[in-house]
Amino acid sequence: MTATMPQPEPIHFELSETALRARRNAKWNQYEPGVLPAFVADMDFAVAAPIQLAIEKIVHAGDYGYPMRDGQKPDRSVSIAFSARMKSRYGWELSPDLVLPLADLVQGTYAPILAFSDPGDGIVLQVPNYPPFRDAITTTERRLLPLAMRDNGSRHVVDMDELEKLVDARTRIFILCNPQNPTGRVFTRDELTALSHFAEAHDLIVISDEIHSDLVYPGHEHIPFASLSAEAAARTITLNSATKSFNIPGLRCAVIAFGNAALRERFHKRIPLRLTGSANVVGADATIAAWTEGQPWLDAVLAHLLKARNRVTEVLSKEAPQIRFHAPEATYLTWLDCSRLELSASAFQYFLNAAKIGFSAGETFDPACPQFVRFNFATSMPILDEMLDRFVTATRRNAR
């Protein structure tokens, strides 16, 4: 007799449109009912059970005092959980002492900009890119040096020749977003190594936002920039959190990781520890649960996202050939070039009116891209199919 292995319970996370519309989140409340939202980077999925349990434990006990976890502050537990995850997933040896928890990653972008540059200094940003990066550069009166992601016909790549032309003696920082939002690129080791040599040659600090690193599709590999070499680490501030991959952005918990202690000390000369605050205990416990117990949920979600990405790719290639795009290598976002539709309004506005889909407007990622939209496809298959139907119909209405 052969013993049968117990099968793990299937993980259900897809939610109906009715359940989603009952939520009090930005995604489902921004537009009138009738519009399907595909903008902000939130997934339409139920959260992982270990995260929910971690939160319920706090709520059921009404345990809202200054917290302690395993004899230490929860911040320390977040740092330990992050270092352990980096080691097990990427072989990146990162001391928890170099990990600073804080509330969110946009804060984590502003702080190193203030610490490592001065007004008037240049900061390189690949464009298109996540809109708050632009604001972080311009509102702090630094100079934004835009480096276009070059479309080589099969993907968007780093243009090292353009980069060389862009920097000047007052360029201090390169903001890297890897995996890249909105193109979904996962930069290869060769690309990252070239960037690291460039940063060394020009003495640049690299702010590496790796928030989408858990959401990589088969055939691609995430490499933390700071794990490339000790030289790369010495100039790298890594930003990460569980908010995108585990769908908990409302809980506000993120980390900054310094490549070495000297970098951390330089940072704190300008940004005192107290100024970055710390994570809320609910966010901290949820993040620790995500990073230590959430992988089965994430694996199930990734299998769904891969199916969704392939469905988007197949339908758009067949049914909307005017739309140019590359299937993302990571993230649940895809960057659609609608310029062949020759729309008179921005593509965002056109599809909001004609298809009742609320995409993210291309011009917010790069002012030169009003004919682009970013499509968030992290939803259930019936909603995704409805969006694709509406989208294809609206592109045909406009087809020349």
- Please tell me whether residue 254 binds ligand PLP under the rule CB under 6 A: yes
| Tokens read off for 60 | 């059921």
User: Do 338 and 398 meet the contact criterion of CB atoms below 8 Å apart?
Assistant: no
**Which residue from 78, 103, 87, 18 is spatially nearest to 291, judged by alpha carbons?**
78
128 in contact with ligand PLP (CB under 6 A): no
- Between 180 and 196, name the residue whose CB sits nearer to ligand PLP: 180
- Total residues contacting ligand PLP (rule CB under 6 A)? 13
Q: Which of residues 38-57 bind ligand PLP (CB under 6 A)?
A: 41
Query: What residues are paired with 101 via a beta bridge?
Result: 255
**319 contacts 399 by C-beta, under 8 angstroms:** no
Q: Which residue has the tokens 């890297």?
A: 176
Residues 6+ apart with CB under 8 A from 332: 41, 43, 215, 305, 308, 309, 376, 377, 378
Q: In the set 39, 130, 325, 365, which binds ligand PLP (CB under 6 A)?
A: 130
CA distance linking residue 288 with residue 83, whole number of Å: 11
Residues 359-388, interacting with ligand PLP (CB under 6 A):
none
Counting contacts by CB under 6 A, is residue 178 touching ligand PLP?
Answer: no
* The only residue of 50, 224, 249, 283 in contact with ligand PLP, by rule CB under 6 A: 249
Q: How far apart are CB 180 and ligand PLP at their closest, in Å?
A: 8
Nearest approach, Cβ of 249 to ligand PLP (angstroms)? 4
Min CB(272)–ligand PLP separation in Å: 21
* Residue 52 · residue 252 · CB < 8 Å: no
Of 171, 236, 243, 247, the one binding ligand PLP (CB under 6 A) is: 243
Stretch of 5-13, 49-57, 99-107, 144-152 lying at the interface with ligand PLP (CB under 6 A): 99-107
Q: 263 — phi, psi (to 5°)?
A: -65, -40
Question: How many angstroms separate the CA atoms of 172 and 30, rounded?
Answer: 38
Q: Does residue number 209 form part of the binding site for ligand PLP (CB under 6 A)?
A: yes
Q: Is 209 helix (H, G, I), strand (E, B) or coil?
A: strand
Stretch that binds ligand PLP, among 6-14, 86-94, 241-249, 386-394 (CB under 6 A): 241-249
For residue 96, the one-letter residue type is P
Find residue 89's DSSP bridge partners: none
Q: How far is the CB of 182 from ligand PLP (least distance, A)?
A: 8
> Given the DSSP bridges, would you call strands 254-258 and 236-240 parallel, antiparallel or unpaired?
antiparallel
Quick one: DSSP state of residue 229? -
Identify which range of 18-26, 100-108, 288-296, 392-400 contacts ligand PLP by CB under 6 A: 100-108
Closest CB to ligand PLP among residues 287, 380: 287
Find the shortest distance in angstroms from Cβ 238 to ligand PLP. Answer: 12
Residue 68 C-beta: closest distance to ligand PLP, Å: 25
DSSP state letters, 354-388: HT-EEEEEGGGT-TT-TTEEEEE--S-HHHHHHHH
In this chain, which stretch among 75-83, 103-111, 289-297, 380-388 interacts with ligand PLP, using CB under 6 A?
Answer: 103-111
CB of 43 to ligand PLP, least distance (A): 11
Residue 250 carries which DSSP code?
G
Cβ 105 to ligand PLP, closest distance in Å?
3
| Cβ count within 10 A of residue 233 | 24
* 131 vs 340 by CB, closer to ligand PLP: 131
Residue 74 near ligand PLP by CB under 6 A: no
Question: Considering the rule CB under 6 A, would residue 106 count as an interface residue with ligand PLP?
Answer: yes
Minimal distance in Å, beta carbon 297 to ligand PLP?
18
Could you tell me whether strands 357-361 and 143-148 are parallel, antiparallel, or unpaired per DSSP bridges? Answer: unpaired
Nearer to ligand PLP, 163 or 248 (CB): 248
Provide the 8-state DSSP code for 240: E
Q: Which helix (H) or strand (E) holds 257?
A: strand 254-258
136 binds ligand PLP (CB under 6 A): no
Distance from the first to the final alpha carbon of the chain: 66
- 267-296: which residues touch ligand PLP (CB under 6 A)? none
- Residues making contact with ligand PLP (CB under 6 A): 41, 104-106, 130, 177, 181, 209, 211, 241, 243, 249, 254
